[in-house]
Structure 1
């Protein structure tokens, strides 16, 4: 095989995947970007071939959208933090279990992924409703009915339930690469269990925590079904606003502009977080 053929072979082998990636992701994004600049007329709809910046100007000058984006990102960040606090210990316990208990717990962790997110959202709406199980249990201990449904609390609870597997699996995968003998060596040298976890285990699982938290944050920020069903019509997140613009207002260009701004903001937050955490991780190892 010549040197040129050796260099071009990986590209030829990657061509089908690159074409699929282009057709399913890049082309729709490009069409959405073009649509976001189209002029919109309330009587005739989007006007192809006529372009304007009005949708972006409206988006960046209206405080209503600032509130929507702020709510979306702080809820997503809170969900990611809660998933880290719950999912990391859960993954650690899972990695220390032996079969068949490991398989049983792994099935419990993955069980939410086997049910439609819409079904899970309806389930939480029944649990958190005024006559639901949660308020019933609170009534038993003397706490009056608490408004949970159609609040940010309901959205956070349901999102944590849905997103937790996306945190547990990456951390558990990182723990599979950790040699248990390293922990035993640290303990035998006089380190406390807490110091061993902090100085030995945690640095090893940081890549899993980083990837899991990024996945949870990104999926939460773009979530539609749970905010739509548990947040109601007044408590909106960005995905529900995009849905309203597309299907209720029929203002497709504005909906496309909001969707693209969400994508770009998501990328900026995730890349910044990735660089910050990776920088501290490398500094701690160095």
Structure 2
């Protein structure tokens, strides 16, 4: 009877645990609902209205029926994809180098990687404006070699350079998490069985680090697709991206419903692509096979 009483008492004590968890999570839930869910619902509601407040589907028909805006959407996704690829090409070797260093060196490299995040995005963009400008060091290097400096400002190239610089840390950090979880004895064991260094990388390191690559790609792609400051400064009006048109429709033409429709289209398309990434992450229990 005493044992039964203890069991019953334990059940009574464990029963309200979900309430405790809910109370602990409640502040975060409220903040999330107030700062994300409510504005998103407001955005969706406004996208189905005219400037006089009447219900309409014309905003979406206007966007989807105009080849110009479809090209803007495609260019936005292209820039986001190229930025993601650039961050991966630069960030993966950097993450491998960090993994092989001592903790002291890794801390210094992590500080170097994260230091740009401590600076305002506007200042970083204007810094690249100076570097890539006609009187900057890049143009001076071309002139010193007797070459004509290429046009590096107000085009997709400038935007890609600036966005890779801004987003690099968001790629490297997930990669470091995946690389650190790889058993350090796997590669020596494979080499002991006759595998080359390239085979070890292709068959062991790369597949086991794929979750970090895909997670970093999701973060970089979504942040780049919705970025406004860096593309606006380095690309100017010549680089047509969705966030820029949301801004101009809301502040210049004061067409808030159409701006909401453009923004919601970007949210839907980006979310759909991220769901595709999630399917890759879940395939094979998080493992991706190369070759």
TM-score, normalization: structure 2? Answer: 0.90
Deviation at 1:283, TM superposition (A): 6.3
**What residue number does 2:162 align with?**
158
| Corresponding residue SS for 2:213 | helix
1:229, 1:71 → 2: CA distance?
17
Partner of residue 136 from structure 1, selected from 128, 137, 140: 140
Structure label with greater radius of gyration = 2
1:10 matched to 2:21: yes
Which moved further from structure 2: 7-16 or 112-121? 7-16
CA offsets, 1:173-193, max 9 Å, x none?
A: 111222212221111121111
1:202, 1:73 → 2: CA distance?
26
Deviation at 1:8, TM superposition (A): 4.3
**What residue number does 1:240 align with?**
244
1:192, 1:79 → 2: CA distance?
31
1:124 matched to 2:128: yes
**What residue number does 1:284 align with?**
289
Unaligned runs of 5+ in 2: 1-10
Alignment of 1:33-112 (within 5 A): 33-40=44-51, 47-48=52-53, 50-112=54-116
CA offsets, 1:36-88, max 9 Å, x none?
A: 11212xxxxxx34x211111110110111011111100111011111111111
TM-score, normalization: structure 1? Answer: 0.92
Which moved further from structure 2: 150-159 or 131-140? 131-140
Which moved further from structure 2: 169-178 or 238-247? 169-178
Unaligned runs of 5+ in 1: 41-46
Q: How many residues align?
A: 278
Pair 282,207 (structure 1): closer, same or farther in 2 beyond 3 Å? closer
| Corresponding residue SS for 1:39 | coil
2:231, 2:21 → 1: CA distance?
43
Does structure 2 conserve the Cα–Cα contact (< 8 Å) formed by 1:150 and 1:231?
yes
| Corresponding residue SS for 2:267 | helix
Does structure 2 conserve the Cα–Cα contact (< 8 Å) formed by 1:79 and 1:159?
yes
**What residue number does 2:257 align with?**
253
Which moved further from structure 2: 99-108 or 109-118? 99-108
Partner of residue 30 from structure 1, selected from 35, 38, 41: 41
2:90, 2:127 → 1: CA distance?
21
2:155, 2:246 → 1: CA distance?
20
* Off by >6 Å, runs of 4+ in structure 1: none
RMSD of the alignment, in Å?
1.8
1:134, 1:184 → 2: CA distance?
43
Does structure 2 conserve the Cα–Cα contact (< 8 Å) formed by 1:228 and 1:236?
no
**What residue number does 2:225 align with?**
221
Does structure 2 conserve the Cα–Cα contact (< 8 Å) formed by 1:36 and 1:255?
yes
Alignment of 1:175-194 (within 5 A): 175-194=179-198
1:228, 1:6 → 2: CA distance?
49
